[in-house]
């Protein structure tokens, strides 16, 4: 059972989220906090696996709260759930240690998927903001002299572009009508050819080399 604490200053949002999460047999809402200070107090006594964290709240905003939560208990995952997709909030939230960033207009199925994926150790970034984040990361990381392997196949480049959009292996498999195992094999081959160890590094290398461009289109 995934124990979730909802942290949002809007009562109607909290009620809606609780209704959605209560419908899933693998998730239990263990508490509701209306600002960061309340959340910090609640996790002292309520065992919590994940916090759904709003950003703009009174008393203590979501960025500061995320940082303090992880200082208090680094085992807790924080998934940002907000209406804000501007650069400043996005980058601050990720730098604070949040495991994911989801916009509130996503379907409820996407919310459930993000929660479960985050608990599996995945980093979920809403596709609507993934491009901004990865481009920012690419700009901050110096170019390496290591040459990008020119022998990525057409299919591997297609998979790489979807990785850059923030899609999970399962989502890529569904879009390309392939098995999830096949996508994992493609990803491993991409990592090997680009001389990287994970998808974030692969996307950064691809962005800096011009192999892929993020223009918000699928």
Give domain status of residue 196, yes or no: yes
- Are residues 63 and 144 both part of a single domain? no
- Are residues 95 and 56 both part of a single domain? yes
Average pLDDT (161-168) is 79
Average pLDDT (22-41) is 96
Tally of CB atoms within 10 A around 63: 23
Query: What is the per-residue burial (b if ≥16 Cβ within 10 Å, else e) of 143-168?
Result: eeeeebeeebeeebebbbbbbbbbbb
Average pLDDT (141-161) is 69
Give domain status of residue 131, yes or no: no
When mean pLDDT is compared over 34-38, 140-144, 157-161, 163-167, the highest value belongs to: 34-38
Give the per-residue pLDDT at 149.
47
Domain endpoint, select from 125, 145, 161: 125
CA pair distance 49, 5, nearest whole angstrom: 8
Q: Are 39 and 9 in contact (CB under 8 A)?
A: no
Angle between helices 180-194 and 169-176 (to 10 degrees): 110
Q: Which two tokens stand for residue 191?
A: 């990592």
- Are residues 56 and 157 both part of a single domain? no
pLDDT in tens, 90-109: 778 777 888 888 888 888 89
CA pair distance 192, 189, nearest whole angstrom: 5
Domain endpoint, select from 125, 152, 183: 125
Average pLDDT (194-207) is 72
CATH of the domain at 161: 1.10.10.10
- Are residues 68 and 120 both part of a single domain? yes
Average pLDDT (163-190) is 88
CATH of the domain at 19: 3.40.50.2300
* Residue 57: pLDDT over 90: yes
pLDDT tier at 36, thresholds 50, 70, 90: very high
- Are residues 87 and 6 both part of a single domain? yes
Its domain, for residue 165, covers 137-209
Average pLDDT (169-175) is 89
209 forms beta bridges with none
* Residue 161: pLDDT over 90: no
């Amino acid at each position: 059972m995934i124990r979730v604490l909802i942290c949002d200053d809007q009562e109607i949002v909290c009620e809606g989220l609780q209704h959605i999460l209560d419908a899933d047999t693998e998730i239990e809402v263990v508490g509701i906090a209306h600002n960061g200070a309340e959340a910090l107090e609640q996790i002292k006594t309520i065992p919590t696996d994940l916090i759904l964290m709003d950003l703009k709240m009174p008393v203590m905003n979501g960025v500061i709260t995320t940082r303090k939560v992880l200082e208090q208990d680094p085992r807790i995952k924080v998934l940002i759930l907000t209406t804000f997709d501007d650069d400043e909030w996005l980058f601050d939230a990720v730098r604070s240690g949040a495991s994911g960033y989801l916009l509130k207009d996503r379907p409820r199925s996407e919310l459930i998927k993000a929660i479960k994926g985050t608990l599996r150790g995945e980093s979920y970034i809403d596709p609507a903001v993934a491009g901004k984040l990865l481009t920012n990361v690419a700009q901050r990381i110096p170019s390496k002299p290591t040459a990008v392997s020119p022998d990525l196949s057409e299919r591997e480049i297609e998979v790489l572009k979807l990785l850059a959009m923030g899609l999970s292996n399962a989502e890529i498999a569904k879009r390309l009508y392939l098995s999830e195992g096949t996508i994992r094999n493609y990803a491993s081959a991409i990592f090997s050819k680009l001389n990287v160890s994970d998808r974030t590094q692969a996307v950064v290398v691809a962005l800096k080399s011009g192999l892929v461009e993020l223009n918000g289109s699928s």
